[in-house]
Structure 1
Amino acid sequence: MRDTLTSLRYRYWPDHLLGEILSKRWTETAIPVILLLIVGFALSRSIDHFLSPASLADTARQAGEIGFIGLGMALVVIVGGIDLSVGSIFALTDFCALYLLDVLNWPVPAVVVATLACGALLGAVNGVLIGYLRLRAFITTLITLIIYRSAFDLLIQRYSNSIASAFPDIPSWNFIGGGDVFGIPSVALVYIAIAIFGHIFMTRLRPGWHITAIGGSRRSAYNSGIPVRRTIALCYVASGVLTSIAALFFAARLGTVGGDIGVGLEVIVLTATVLGGITLGGGKGSVAKSLVGVLIVLLITNGLTTLNARGGINRMALAGILLIAAMVDIRWQKNRTRIISKVYVAPTYHALPPPPATEIGQGGPFEQNDKLRDVELIGLGRIEAPEDVILDRNNNLYAGSRHGDIMRFFAPDYQRMEVFAHIGGQPLGMAFDRQDNLYVCIGGMGLYRITPDGTVEKATDETNRSMHSVNDDSRLRLADDLDITDDGLIFFSEATVRYEMDEWPIDGLEARGNGRIICYDTKTGATHTALRGLKFPNGICVASDGQSILFAETFGCSIKRLWFAGPKKGQVEVVMDNLPGYPDNINLASDGNYWLALVGMRSPSLDLAWKMPGFRRRMAKRVPVDEWLFPNINTGCVVKFNEQGKILESFWDLRGENHPMITSMREHRGYLYLGGIMNNRIGRYKLTNADPNFVQYDKRWGKAS
């Protein structure tokens, strides 16, 4: 009963979704958006007409003005700095605009240009000090805050009356301050235009990438040739210009200057920046996050004002929110990887029946022997990780290596070898097509094709994305093994869509159906997923009927058949289950049957652990990977089975002296060639009663004319 309840709980409760969601970059934007919706909903329920058209129009004007400053602050924070002087720059540029318009009677275009130039100059002071002289951003902008504020105080003491007594009635100036287009305030329209440009700049243009790179690591950016000092300086200049744009709209809307203009503005903008999800450590952020943060802060401050909260309470609330947001940001960025790693691994319930007997003297088709003890060794110490082996029509032997090479051993003695092609990654399953092209599954890269002259070409590295998947599973993470049908369809397995090549043991720990079988059409270049939800699908072999493929589910300890043509098209059948080990590659035998490699043997402790998801979750959190429960991969085994799944013969290397781990085998001219991803050799075993003229290539594609 307990096992049944555990099985149901892990079958229908998607534990893995939390880790997948937290690992996505968009969650750092989604969380502030959710917070914005919650704040908006709560205030709309508490305050009458809080979201009325008039209220929204006023909020849009404020959001535009504060939003410009928020964009500047976001830019500075992303590059790895901070600007505490934005409030003082805002006040000075506001004064500049009104002084030029009201006292000197400059035309509006000249006022706009001069105000922007003033903002750029004030920002440039910060930029030179921080970017070129490499002073600390916090203390530098704190000092310029004091200097700029003092200058503003001196100026308004002298000119405030002159500005207050002027009443300019200029249509263009009035439009800047209070105009709208179809009910949308002019400031909001300008903000939207600049925000769109900012998004394109940060995500599609090289200077924007430079800003993010510098914020992530200044030393690495410098070593990459990025002009770090100039970029930092220009970010502060841009911050000053954006702040002056906000000041222009503010000056046109109110037309007055006062001693409290811009006071505390840096707290408001910094709070908006952090609440929007822009990390204070630099290197992460976006225009959208800046906008969301500004809207959250405006809703909170406007809501408190509507509720008749005093100004001091507003500032205290913002300071408290900033403190909490900064703490969360620092903690999250510091522990993000560790937190995600703890919740991302999501073991599920996986029950296997007791395995069949393999002990000597027990009888049965899997009874252990030592037939592989004296296999002939090829390339001993000269090749690493030959996961799969294959032979061409000229009897030459090919195998992948850990270094991303396809090695070719020349017949007849296989002593001479060369690098046939260099691909990169970890070459896994291989198959020749009718034109002598060698197709190879590359872990972490996809499916590749090598022409007879050694030219490497990418066949595919993606497939159609699952509609219900949080992870982007269109990219191929672990293409494993393949085979080719008579009409040019390549079926290949992808062992897992959740983990990379070097993380495959974690997929075994989960025992979740993370794998799939993919079909690539060599004629059209189209790729689609043929079957999902498999427990580490591995070996693939086109069956003798030409209408189905046999595939191995490694952690399901089973061999299944997928019909891709004929009346049973789309159906899946179990050929063998409850194997004593973990099946890997499958290949044709000369007598019409099939060879199967067992990469490791099951153990009672691991079988028991698979029924205990909670135990495996704790093991993943607390125990190093090299100390996890793991299959016995020190005992190599190859079995032969027929179409009905009956075991006909088995071959073992009990002591693991010559071939301790077997991931693949190929029959060729009376010999069985053995590969192993953990081995530094290829094995060759002389078969009895095998066809000495059998060549798998000729069997599939016919003899050369």
Structure 2
Amino acid sequence: MANSLTKLRYRHVPDHLFGEVLSKPWIDNAVPFIALIATLGTFMALQPSMFSAYGLVDLSRQLAEFGLLVVALTVVMISGGIDLAIGSIFALCILTIMTCLNVLGWPLGTSVLATAGVGAFCGAINGVLIGFLRLRAFLTTLVTLIIFRSIYELIFPQLGTAIVMGMSDSAIWDALSFNTFLGLPYAIWIAGIIMLGVHVVLSRSRFGWQLSAVGGGRRSAFNAGIKVRTVVFLAYVSSGVLTGLAAVLYGARMNSVGSDTGVGLELGVVTAAIMGGVTLGGGRGSVSKALMGAIVVLIVQNGLLLRGVQGPTAAMILGLILLLAAFLDVRWVKNRHKLLQSSYISPTWFELGKRPQVGPGSPFEINDKLKDVEVIGLGEIEGPEDVVLDADGNLYAGNRFGDVIKFHGPDHKTWEVYAHTGGHFLGCNFDRHGNLIGCVGGMGLYMVTPEREVVKLTDETPRNPLSIIDDSHLRLPDDMDIAPDGRIFFSEATVRYGMDSWAQDAIESRGNGRLICYDPKTKTTKTVLRNRIFPNGIVCLKDGESLLFNETWACRISRYYYDGPKKGTVEPVCENLPGYPDNINRASDGNYWVALFGMRTPLLDMAMTEPAWRRRMTLRVSPANYLYANINVGCVIKINEKGEVLDTIWDAEGRNHSSITSMREHKGYLYLGGVHNNRIGKYRIPGADPDWTAMKDYWGNA
């Protein structure tokens, strides 16, 4: 009964989704979004008139300029700075636009440029002091707040009357002040276009990426070659320009300026930015976050005003909101990674069959045939996960440094770097034209031409709409083979983990892998089979409609039909193996070699039925000390299409070839690879065809 309840619990309660949600970048928007919904609900109940048609139009006019101010501050905060002078700069820019239009009579375009120029100049002053002279942002902008405010108070009395008495004759200015489009003021449309442009710059441009890098860590950004001081300077200049544009929209709405314009505005802007989730520490922030924070603060301010809350009390409430937002920001930044780390790995209940015997009389009887095999490239290659030979007998394998190594036949004594892919070259094979095609961990499916040109074939698939994590980018493409019609089928062992954390998928044993098909004729990639338990080795059968594939943690080999009357079906071929199957390849007698890279143990088999225990293990033990398979022995088995075990080859003591991940037969020899090994093995197969090659057998003389 306990086992049955455990099965039901882990089958129907997808607790791994919580960790996947926490891993999403947009989870940072969850807190401001909840705050926005709560604020809307509260003031809809307390002050419903604020959300009438007239109230929403008025709110949108305010949001246009206030939202731009929050976006302006966001740009600075992403770079790791702060701008307390934004209210004073805003006041100077409003004074500029009103003077240019109502006093000097300048054209609207010139006036807007002058206003943006004043904002840029003020921002440049802050940028020079903070970026190039490396002064503290908080104290510097506090000082410039006082200076800019003093300049405003010196100039305003001399121009105030003229501004009030004057009037612009620009029709566009009047339209900006009063007209609407689709029921919304022009100002909100203009502000929306500007915010969209800022969003593109922050998320899609080099400057935006550099801004986040500088905010995330200035020393690291400097070491990466980023001109940190220039980026900080440009952040303040950009903020000043956006502040100037916000002042233009404010001037169009109010058509006036007062002695208290901009006073205390920095409190609301900073509150909105932090409330929106723009972190005080720098490196994280977006336009959408800024906009959500701006809406929350505007609703609170207008709602308190309509409720008759006096100015000092409203300021105190806004200050408390700022304090709460800052507290949540600091605690979230500090603890989110810990929460994600403690919840992302989510083991499930998985029961293997009774472990088969490997003693005398068993199909898997232990021997020591690999004890004294020939060794190729000892100490010269690291991590040859898969090996393959061309028609001339040259041997190829990838290393962990991103190279494809070529050992020259027939003796394989000398070698060279055949190509550099930049990632670990895993399962590979030659097509009928002599192109070497392989899976590159963390990168995708790649091809190396006979001219040694490295070509990316595919690195993504259409995203599964039901997946929370982004499963479009290939994280761990593992092994591949080519169908007779040229289509390439390859496995992605897991969509949740990468090359450096694949062992955590073994702890989960959830079924995070899939089979993928790439069609070189149409250059399209699609997932053909999902939810497999670490699918690994693949070999296409000559029937042109099916393939064999291994599921490592499930200790089984299955047959998948990609064409024909059984298209889409999966049939078990060989289940309940004594070890964990990795790659699978053709044998000269029409059967198939399968590498077992590790052997099952009773304790690990039992742990697979104790998901809560495995979860506690990941929380209390370092990954290096996880309970793991026995990878100290090497084993290769031979099976037929029915899954019958025909032969076994062991290195029982693990002297030469422990943890075998691949093998390839060629002219009477079996070549052995291992992702943890620093050599390639060469084993003479008794009675094997000395002229047989995989390429000729599969592709003929083409």
TM-score, normalisation: structure 2: 0.93
Over residues 439-459 of structure 1, what are the superposed CA-to-partner deviations in whole Å (9 max), with x where a residue is unaligned? 222111222222234332222
Over residues 380-415 of structure 1, what are the superposed CA-to-partner deviations in whole Å (9 max), with x where a residue is unaligned? 222221212222222332222222222222333322
Over residues 132-169 of structure 1, what are the superposed CA-to-partner deviations in whole Å (9 max), with x where a residue is unaligned? 32211100111122233344445556766x36973758
**How do residues 604-615 of structure 1 correspond to structure 2 at under 5 angstroms?**
604-615=602-613
**1:696 pairs with 2:690:** no
**How do residues 137-216 of structure 1 correspond to structure 2 at under 5 angstroms?**
137-154=137-154, 162=161, 166=165, 168=167, 172=171, 175-216=175-216
What is residue 447 of structure 1 aligned with on the other side?
445
Assess, with a 3 A threshold, how the Cα gap between structure 1 residues 149 and 339 changes in structure 2: closer, same or farther. Answer: same
Aligned partners of 1:454 and 1:381: how far apart in 2? 25
What is residue 390 of structure 1 aligned with on the other side?
388
Aligned partners of 1:398 and 1:312: how far apart in 2? 76
**How do residues 225-244 of structure 1 correspond to structure 2 at under 5 angstroms?**
226-244=226-244
SS in structure 2 of the partner of residue 501 of structure 1: coil
Assess, with a 3 A threshold, how the Cα gap between structure 1 residues 240 and 377 changes in structure 2: closer, same or farther. Answer: closer
**How do residues 343-358 of structure 1 correspond to structure 2 at under 5 angstroms?**
343-358=343-358
SS in structure 2 of the partner of residue 50 of structure 1: helix
CA displacement at 1:638 relative to structure 2: 1.2
Question: Is the CA contact 2:380–2:678 (under 8 Å) kept in the aligned structure 1?
Answer: yes
Assess, with a 3 A threshold, how the Cα gap between structure 1 residues 513 and 402 changes in structure 2: closer, same or farther. Answer: same
SS in structure 2 of the partner of residue 418 of structure 1: strand
What is residue 560 of structure 1 aligned with on the other side?
558
SS in structure 1 of the partner of residue 517 of structure 2: strand
What is residue 129 of structure 1 aligned with on the other side?
129
Aligned partners of 1:528 and 1:496: how far apart in 2? 16
Task: Select 1:534's aligned residue among 529, 532, 539.
Answer: 532
Question: Is the CA contact 2:482–2:540 (under 8 Å) kept in the aligned structure 1?
Answer: yes
SS in structure 2 of the partner of residue 69 of structure 1: helix
What is residue 83 of structure 2 aligned with on the other side?
83
Aligned partners of 1:675 and 1:171: how far apart in 2? 78
CA displacement at 1:535 relative to structure 2: 0.6
Structure 1 residues not aligned, in runs of 5+:
none
Question: Is the CA contact 1:174–1:253 (under 8 Å) kept in the aligned structure 2?
Answer: no
Question: Please, which moves more after superposition, 249-258 or 5-14?
Answer: 249-258
Q: Percent identity?
A: 51
Aligned partners of 1:388 and 1:26: how far apart in 2? 38
Aligned partners of 1:524 and 1:154: how far apart in 2? 70
What is residue 367 of structure 1 aligned with on the other side?
365
CA displacement at 1:241 relative to structure 2: 3.6
What is residue 35 of structure 2 aligned with on the other side?
35
Question: Please, which moves more after superposition, 282-291 or 265-274?
Answer: 282-291
Aligned partners of 2:246 and 2:526: how far apart in 1? 51
SS in structure 1 of the partner of residue 495 of structure 2: coil
What is residue 602 of structure 1 aligned with on the other side?
600
What is residue 626 of structure 2 aligned with on the other side?
628
What is residue 53 of structure 1 aligned with on the other side?
53
**1:498 pairs with 2:499:** no
Aligned partners of 2:175 and 2:637: how far apart in 1? 84
Aligned partners of 2:331 and 2:265: how far apart in 1? 26
Question: Is the CA contact 1:98–1:163 (under 8 Å) kept in the aligned structure 2?
Answer: no
CA displacement at 1:23 relative to structure 2: 1.5
SS in structure 2 of the partner of residue 430 of structure 1: strand
Question: Please, which moves more after superposition, 695-704 or 164-173?
Answer: 164-173
Assess, with a 3 A threshold, how the Cα gap between structure 1 residues 93 and 645 changes in structure 2: closer, same or farther. Answer: closer
Kindly provide the amino acid, as one letter, of the partner of residue 652 in structure 1. W
Assess, with a 3 A threshold, how the Cα gap between structure 1 residues 693 and 266 changes in structure 2: closer, same or farther. Answer: same
Over residues 232-279 of structure 1, what are the superposed CA-to-partner deviations in whole Å (9 max), with x where a residue is unaligned? 334323333433443444445445555543222111001111122222
**How do residues 72-471 of structure 1 correspond to structure 2 at under 5 angstroms?**
72-98=72-98, 104=103, 106-107=105-106, 109=108, 112=112, 114-154=114-154, 162=161, 166=165, 168=167, 172=171, 175-224=175-224, 226-254=226-254, 257-358=257-358, 360-361=359-360, 363-471=361-469
What is residue 512 of structure 2 aligned with on the other side?
514
Question: Is the CA contact 1:177–1:250 (under 8 Å) kept in the aligned structure 2?
Answer: no
Over residues 26-70 of structure 1, what are the superposed CA-to-partner deviations in whole Å (9 max), with x where a residue is unaligned? 222354234323322332233333321101011011111212221
Runs of 4 or more, structure 1, over 6 Å off, are: none
Assess, with a 3 A threshold, how the Cα gap between structure 1 residues 388 and 145 changes in structure 2: closer, same or farther. Answer: same
Name the Cα RMSD after superposition.
2.5
Question: Is the CA contact 2:597–2:658 (under 8 Å) kept in the aligned structure 1?
Answer: no
What is residue 644 of structure 1 aligned with on the other side?
642
Kindly provide the amino acid, as one letter, of the partner of residue 353 in structure 1. G
Aligned partners of 1:199 and 1:148: how far apart in 2? 29
Structure 2 residues not aligned, in runs of 5+:
none
CA displacement at 1:623 relative to structure 2: 0.9
CA displacement at 1:518 relative to structure 2: 1.0
Question: Is the CA contact 1:65–1:249 (under 8 Å) kept in the aligned structure 2?
Answer: yes
SS in structure 1 of the partner of residue 363 of structure 2: coil
Aligned partners of 1:401 and 1:470: how far apart in 2? 33
Assess, with a 3 A threshold, how the Cα gap between structure 1 residues 305 and 703 changes in structure 2: closer, same or farther. Answer: same
Aligned partners of 2:117 and 2:246: how far apart in 1? 14
Aligned partners of 1:253 and 1:436: how far apart in 2? 70
Question: Is the CA contact 1:544–1:592 (under 8 Å) kept in the aligned structure 2?
Answer: no
Over residues 604-628 of structure 1, what are the superposed CA-to-partner deviations in whole Å (9 max), with x where a residue is unaligned? 1111211111221221122111100
Question: Please, which moves more after superposition, 256-265 or 556-565?
Answer: 256-265
What is residue 548 of structure 1 aligned with on the other side?
546
What is residue 669 of structure 1 aligned with on the other side?
667
Aligned partners of 1:118 and 1:392: how far apart in 2? 69
Kindly provide the amino acid, as one letter, of the partner of residue 445 in structure 1. M
Question: Is the CA contact 1:673–1:682 (under 8 Å) kept in the aligned structure 2?
Answer: yes
Kindly provide the amino acid, as one letter, of the partner of residue 316 in structure 1. M
Assess, with a 3 A threshold, how the Cα gap between structure 1 residues 47 and 381 changes in structure 2: closer, same or farther. Answer: same
What is residue 70 of structure 1 aligned with on the other side?
70
Assess, with a 3 A threshold, how the Cα gap between structure 1 residues 182 and 523 changes in structure 2: closer, same or farther. Answer: closer
CA displacement at 1:431 relative to structure 2: 1.4
Assess, with a 3 A threshold, how the Cα gap between structure 1 residues 592 and 230 changes in structure 2: closer, same or farther. Answer: closer
Over residues 666-704 of structure 1, what are the superposed CA-to-partner deviations in whole Å (9 max), with x where a residue is unaligned? 222222222111111222222223233322222112247
Kindly provide the amino acid, as one letter, of the partner of residue 511 in structure 2. G
What is residue 659 of structure 1 aligned with on the other side?
657
Aligned partners of 1:133 and 1:81: how far apart in 2? 14
SS in structure 1 of the partner of residue 331 of structure 2: helix
CA displacement at 1:176 relative to structure 2: 4.5
Kindly provide the amino acid, as one letter, of the partner of residue 296 in structure 2. I
- Give the number of aligned pairs: 700
Question: Is the CA contact 1:61–1:185 (under 8 Å) kept in the aligned structure 2?
Answer: yes
SS in structure 2 of the partner of residue 33 of structure 1: helix
Aligned partners of 2:180 and 2:608: how far apart in 1? 65
SS in structure 2 of the partner of residue 366 of structure 1: coil
Aligned partners of 2:229 and 2:406: how far apart in 1? 51
Kindly provide the amino acid, as one letter, of the partner of residue 453 in structure 2. T
Kindly provide the amino acid, as one letter, of the partner of residue 610 in structure 1. M
Task: Select 2:684's aligned residue among 677, 683, 686.
Answer: 686
Aligned partners of 2:665 and 2:167: how far apart in 1? 94
CA displacement at 1:336 relative to structure 2: 3.2
CA displacement at 1:112 relative to structure 2: 4.8
Question: Is the CA contact 2:394–2:407 (under 8 Å) kept in the aligned structure 1?
Answer: yes
What is residue 614 of structure 2 aligned with on the other side?
616
Aligned partners of 1:418 and 1:174: how far apart in 2? 74
Aligned partners of 2:155 and 2:667: how far apart in 1? 97
